[in-house]
Amino acid sequence: MIIQLEPNIKADQLQQLEERLDAIRYSTTRVTTQFADYIIGVGKAEFDIRSIGTLPGIRDIHRVSDAYKLVSKKWKVEDTVIDLGDGIQLGTGHFGIMAGPCSIESEEQIEKTITHLQQEGVRIMRGGVYKPRSSPYSFRGLGIDGLKMWYKRTREAGIKIITEVMMVEQIEAMADYVDVFQVGARNSQNFNLLDALGEVDKPVLLKRGISGTIDELLQAAEYIFSNGNERVMLCERGIRSYETAYRNTMDVNAIAMLKEKTHLPVIADPSHGIGLRRYVDKIALASIMAGADGVIMEVHEQPEKAFSDGQQTLSFPEAARLYRRMRQAYELREAF
């Protein structure tokens, strides 16, 4: 059960509500976000929802029996649109492209990528400064200094930054230089990190785990939301299947289903989704038809030399062609 409170609910009204919930043995969690105040009730008793909904100080009440609640479309019918400022929006009706290298490597690389994005009208740049690497002996990114350098360049260019955060301790130092925090697949159930991102006033793009279910992804989003941050996006990035012909198996089914289950924006990552450069375009277009609100993808001036994931990285001309096709596919879909 979700109860949205009136902003000016009085202490005695709140107490009355809590007593009522206590009487039916519901455990409650108070949630305060940028936008509203909620009480989440979890319990088993049957009761007349009107007996609570008509109490003073309550704006709205709804039963939601799924494990996830505030992120469910059963609670919030209207889709969430996330505003990044400067006219950049993400969510239903606002197709978004986020492109850039796997890793931020150098100032020169940043410049070239920004020039490419500006030419193609792409306004969000992706790139890693903290890289999760399977081996401890691999390059782990330029860190906070790389981020600051990158930040400076993007401001001049009117480009927004999305980058991965790997641990709670990084958040504070990063927050001033990041427009969207990304949570990687390996951290999609790092609950402490999710909690902490709930307290940040920046949007979060949350990737599905490598073998995460739809339900786990939505509950992970609920962690962020219920800690206070309503500005969450979900990202399908390919799952681990038995098939070894591709690095991951992009699951467009998840995109279709997530758009029905949640009001949050859903982004596709075709680069990791299939992990093979020559198929990224088809998978990106398929994802749009499945319902994606945006695409995050890896591009590099010289994909062969790109740090760590060159196999799935598009060149600038390949990417430019794909941006155009994606916009056309999105336009057709919206016209349906």
Residues 125-144 that bind a second copy (CB under 8 A): 132-137
Q: Which of residues 258-277 bind a second copy (CB under 8 A)?
A: 260, 273-274
Tell me, by CB under 8 A, how many residues bind a second copy.
Answer: 75
CB of 148 to a second copy, least distance (A): 20
DSSP state at residue 313: P
Cα 238 from chain centroid?
15
294 close to 258: Cβ distance less than 8 angstroms: no
Is 291 a binder of a second copy (CB under 8 A)? yes
CB of 59 to a second copy, least distance (A): 21
Is 38 a binder of a second copy (CB under 8 A)? no
| Of residues 166, 104, 99, the one with CA closest to residue 129 | 104
Nearer to a second copy, 167 or 175 (CB): 167
Burial of 219 (C-beta count, 10 Å sphere; 0-12/13-18/19+):
buried
CB of 82 to a second copy, least distance (A): 20
Give, for 183, the enclosing helix (H) or strand (E).
strand 180-183
Nearer to a second copy, 41 or 100 (CB): 41
Q: Which of residues 233-252 bind a second copy (CB under 8 A)?
A: 239-246, 249-252
120 close to 319: Cβ distance less than 8 angstroms: yes
Q: Which of residues 145-204 bind a second copy (CB under 8 A)?
A: 166-169, 186-187, 189-195
Is 213 a binder of a second copy (CB under 8 A)? yes
Is 296 a binder of a second copy (CB under 8 A)? no
Nearer to a second copy, 19 or 243 (CB): 243
* Euclidean distance between CA atoms 99 and 87, whole angstroms: 18
Residues 307-326, mask of contacts with a second copy (x by CB under 8 A): ------------------x-
Nearer to a second copy, 160 or 277 (CB): 277
Nearer to a second copy, 10 or 63 (CB): 63
Is 334 a binder of a second copy (CB under 8 A)? no
| One-letter identity of residue 331 | E
Among 67, 172, 199, 305, binds a second copy (CB under 8 A): 67
Nearer to a second copy, 31 or 90 (CB): 31
Is 45 a binder of a second copy (CB under 8 A)? no
Among 32, 54, 119, 328, binds a second copy (CB under 8 A): 328
Nearer to a second copy, 152 or 240 (CB): 240
User: What stretches of 24-106 show up as alpha helix (H) in DSSP?
Assistant: 49-53
- The number of C-alpha atoms within 13 Å of 235 and in the hemisphere containing its C-beta is 32
CB of 228 to a second copy, least distance (A): 11
Compute how many other C-beta atoms are within 10 angstroms of the C-beta atom of residue 145. 9
Tokens of 185: 């697949």
